[in-house]
Structure 1
Amino acid sequence: MRLLCAPAEIGRLDAADTLRVILYGQAGAPGRASAGAAVRKDFRKERLAPHPRAWDLLSIANSVMVADAAGLRTDSPDGWTREFELEIAVMDPAFWNGAAPLIADTLAFLTTDRWHLHFIPGGAAAPEPARVVAPAQSCVALLSGGLDSLAGAIDLAAAGNHPLVVSKIVRGDSEKQEEFARAIGGGLRHIQLNDNAVVPKPKDTSQRARSIIFLAFGVVVATSLAPYRNGATVPLYVCENGFIAINPPLTGSRIGSLSTRTAHPQFLALFQDLLDAAGIRVSIRTPYADKTKGEMLKECADQELLGALAPRSTSCGRFQKFKYSHCGRCVPCQVRRAAFVAWGRPDQTKYAYEHLGRNDANHAGFDDVRSVGMALAATADDGFDRWLGSALSWPRIRRRDSLRDMLRRGLGELGALHAKYGVK
């Protein structure tokens, strides 16, 4: 699939075999796509002045979001792996063309697609406010509305590191993102952004590239902070439990990008390489890389606040499909429910499918419930290491022994959940 991603001012005629993507504007014509329509207005409103290459990175991330939505996996030869050719307008095409192989490798790991990127001049610059505001915060944390980022922001504030929290607006989560930011640390400065990716229908829903835009939002904001402008390196906190970050394949059929890699250590290491190559002084921090979700809850610094807000958080992979409620049976829901069991507190979350032990297609018979059950059975029959296989073999993974122990504990939390409901 070919895409030309550039502001509307790039007046090249639309080609029949190329999807024209308007960056930072509206599509303006049938058959076109767009992304980032509101972002420039949001930065103008906040009066932020990010690093130019960080803004170019945002243009790239917006383009990737469109490609990920427009490229139908069902049209690919194997029903999954897609091939993209992206031409993207940026402010510094010479640098980005040099970095194109690294970007392609990073995206290939994230989505298991083939990416070819070429950069052209004419990219949109960040808005230039008449009076720049450089927030004084020394770090940025991603706040999704999920349970992990909630616990992480609470811990950062309790330790005296009051971060500026950045959210990607997702339907059903916007209000709770605002609620969490207000409640933590006496109120955290909060910026909500949206890629507003719009593509011609039909739209692919696998969303394997979604973390690229969330990270780009965090990076752009981080380079706008006063410490960054004064020469410091700014930490960007990605607070995700280690079990979901590595997301080990539960069964032999859940390999590659069939298990999401949104916070996988290999992906984040490659993304950090890209930031370093671009001279962007932002350091990605993953403080819970060796923690299970249950351990994050048990060890959170403010148990009272976490207990009050946790039921409002979102974990479900099908949250919108279930009318903005948790299904209770997908893998993220099972990890969430297992974490509450490990925490030892009542789980007040409402689940569409509560009793996982009920032996029908909607409960114990559901694919994700069966997959967890098969992983538990394989571990019991053949041992943990054989089940784990090559999940930790990626070259950029460090501290393998610690991560291996964490994955064992995480699987144990899932085992306790299945035991509670009598899943067989």
Structure 2
Amino acid sequence: MTTVGCAPAGTPLPLGIDTPFVLYGHRPSPNIGAVGATIPPVVRALGLSPAARAWDFLSIALSVIAADESTTRTTSADGWTRQIKLTVAVIDPHFWNTAAPRLEEALRFLTADIWKLEFIEGGYLPGPPNPIKVRNEDVVCLLSGGMDSLIGAIDLVAAGHVPFLVSQIAKGDKHDQRAFAQRIAKQAMHLQVNHNASPPGPSERSQRARSMMFFGIGILAATCLQSYGKGAAVELFVPENGFISLNVPLTPMRLGSLSTRTTHPFYLAKIQEVLNAAGLNVKLVNPYQYKTKGEMLADCKNQPLLQQLIGSSTSCGRYARTGFRQCGRCVPCLVRRSQRWRS
């Protein structure tokens, strides 16, 4: 079993950690990794003051990303399934240790690994910015730069919502994410961050845990809304067509987590259970669970705007590896190409 530990600078990790990481900081030495260093300055610069439990959830999400990227699959017994013990410093370790079994179940489904989570004191909780900018948006929407999230954001605005847009920066997508946000909801807040995980050793490329980061920053944003502060539930929209959400394996070589499960309804339900137990009044919503990509495209509520922006959206699972061009052959590309035959 590989042991990974993540804590802010100054918080000691238990002895025996194979791979230590600094949370929200930079690498102090070649033998220690780092993750999330750029997030607190961005959040503070925007005047946001997230809830303590939201910071804890983001710390967990970042730590899962760190463990996922630093633990290679090639050394596991079957070449895929890893055994990972992850220790994370949080503000409320008592609660999170009670929630650990739920999180472990969600992560096992997401990555097909065997996870053991342990939470210790010393988590990250920054002081509030001065001034705090209370946000009046009424929902949060993930905006990845892909076609589905583009349609999701357009539809929310067309329905009269003012979305707080949240993006995980991916190489090649940063400019398009920003351009989409400006065109879709110019007056709304757009939070763009990157986990900046820097393992001390080789990196694992499968990245099955990456959606934890999406939810981490989305939940962080949701707790900054004025409506959340008044006790209302905030909807966090995760726009994804139903076929890719289920990601049905097209061949025996894609069974299980060999196909990604980033927005699978079972996984979303398990994360929702954790949020409910944590008292985080955020509801995960995929409004397109029962639609194909073609149906999403045809039913988009602002067709002129969609046609202007869709050419810049990205679906390719190999985008960074193909010179920032869509390959046309991976499953996401094939699904995108098939949308014309939606009927």
What TM bracket, shorter-length normalisation?
over 0.9
Aligned amino acid, residue 227 of structure 2? P
Q: How many angstroms apart in 1 are the aligned matches of 2:326 and 2:250? A: 21
**C-alpha contact 2:5 2:13 (8 A) present in aligned 1:** no
**C-alpha contact 1:43 1:127 (8 A) present in aligned 2:** no
Pairwise CA distance, 1:63: 0.3
Pairwise CA distance, 1:128: 1.6
Q: How many angstroms apart in 1 are the aligned matches of 2:185 and 2:84? A: 44
TM-score after normalising by structure 1: 0.79
1:301-320 equivalent positions in 2, closer than 5 A: 301-320=301-320
**C-alpha contact 1:167 1:193 (8 A) present in aligned 2:** yes
Q: How many angstroms apart in 1 are the aligned matches of 2:185 and 2:21? A: 40
**C-alpha contact 1:55 1:126 (8 A) present in aligned 2:** no
Hey, what does 2:263 align to over in structure 1?
263
**C-alpha contact 2:136 2:227 (8 A) present in aligned 1:** yes
Hey, what does 1:153 align to over in structure 2?
153
Q: How many angstroms apart in 1 are the aligned matches of 2:186 and 2:261? A: 33
The number of aligned residues is: 342
Residue ranges of structure 1 left out of the alignment (5+ in a row): 343-408, 414-424
1:20-419 equivalent positions in 2, closer than 5 A: 20-339=20-339, 341-342=340-341
Hey, what does 2:4 align to over in structure 1?
3
Aligned amino acid, residue 169 of structure 2? I
Question: RMSD across aligned C-alpha pairs, in angstroms?
Answer: 1.3
**C-alpha contact 1:5 1:23 (8 A) present in aligned 2:** yes
Pairwise CA distance, 1:186: 4.8
125-134 or 162-171: bigger deviation: 125-134
**C-alpha contact 2:319 2:325 (8 A) present in aligned 1:** yes
Q: How many angstroms apart in 2 are the aligned matches of 1:104 and 1:122? A: 21
3-state SS of 2:22 partner: strand
Q: How many angstroms apart in 2 are the aligned matches of 1:97 and 1:166? A: 28
**C-alpha contact 2:7 2:13 (8 A) present in aligned 1:** no
C-alpha deviations, 1:84-139, integer Å up to 9, x for none?
Answer: 11111000000000001111001001000010011100111134212211100111
Q: How many angstroms apart in 1 are the aligned matches of 2:305 and 2:204? A: 38
Q: How many angstroms apart in 2 are the aligned matches of 1:14 and 1:95? A: 23
Q: How many angstroms apart in 1 are the aligned matches of 2:268 and 2:115? A: 18
Q: How many angstroms apart in 1 are the aligned matches of 2:275 and 2:18? A: 29
Residue ranges of structure 2 left out of the alignment (5+ in a row): none
Q: How many angstroms apart in 1 are the aligned matches of 2:109 and 2:160? A: 35
Q: How many angstroms apart in 1 are the aligned matches of 2:236 and 2:126? A: 20
Pairwise CA distance, 1:201: 3.2
Q: How many angstroms apart in 2 are the aligned matches of 1:11 and 1:265? A: 37
Moved over 4 A (4+): 12-15
Pairwise CA distance, 1:40: 0.9
Pairwise CA distance, 1:185: 4.1
Hey, what does 1:363 align to over in structure 2?
none
3-state SS of 1:212 partner: helix
**C-alpha contact 2:163 2:185 (8 A) present in aligned 1:** no
3-state SS of 1:253 partner: helix
**C-alpha contact 2:6 2:13 (8 A) present in aligned 1:** no
Hey, what does 1:386 align to over in structure 2?
none
